[in-house]
Amino acid sequence: MTQKINYVLGVILNSVKDEVAFLKKDRGPEYLVGKYNYMGGKMEPDESAQVAVARETTEECGLVIPFGRWWLFAIYKCAEYNLFKYVTDCPTISEARPVEPEEVFVK
């Protein structure tokens, strides 16, 4: 039996909840390339989902949001993978910038 892959996804809102950070995927699974998505990715072995979403956010848009500031709001489970969905508010959301070669937006 193969082990499921665990992924995280992080929704980053500004403090008054009227802006959100997202990116346009230019790599990854074919069904995501060219699409808009939130920050996230694959969890590392022995890494908690909260730590993973904080790490992925820093890697993808440069925002450093401590893992304790992320709140789990949904878990999607299917045969192949688990997806842990988190949300946070970030007063410095306007500082989000591309770190990887993908466009980052705050709207």
**pLDDT value of position 49:** 98
Greater model confidence, 74 or 32? 74
- Asked if the model's pLDDT at residue 1 lies above 90, the reply is no
Q: Bridge partners of 89?
A: 13
Which residue carries 């299917």 as its tokens? 78
pTM of the model: 0.93
Which residue in 71, 33, 37 sits closest to 53, CA to CA? Answer: 71
**pLDDT value of position 79:** 94
pLDDT tens, 54-83?
Answer: 999 999 999 999 999 999 999 999 999 999
- Residue 29 pLDDT grade (very low, low, confident, very high; cuts 50, 70, 90): confident
Rounded Cα gap, residues 105 and 24, in angstroms: 8
- Asked if the model's pLDDT at residue 91 lies above 80, the reply is yes
The tokens describing 74, both together, are 């949904």
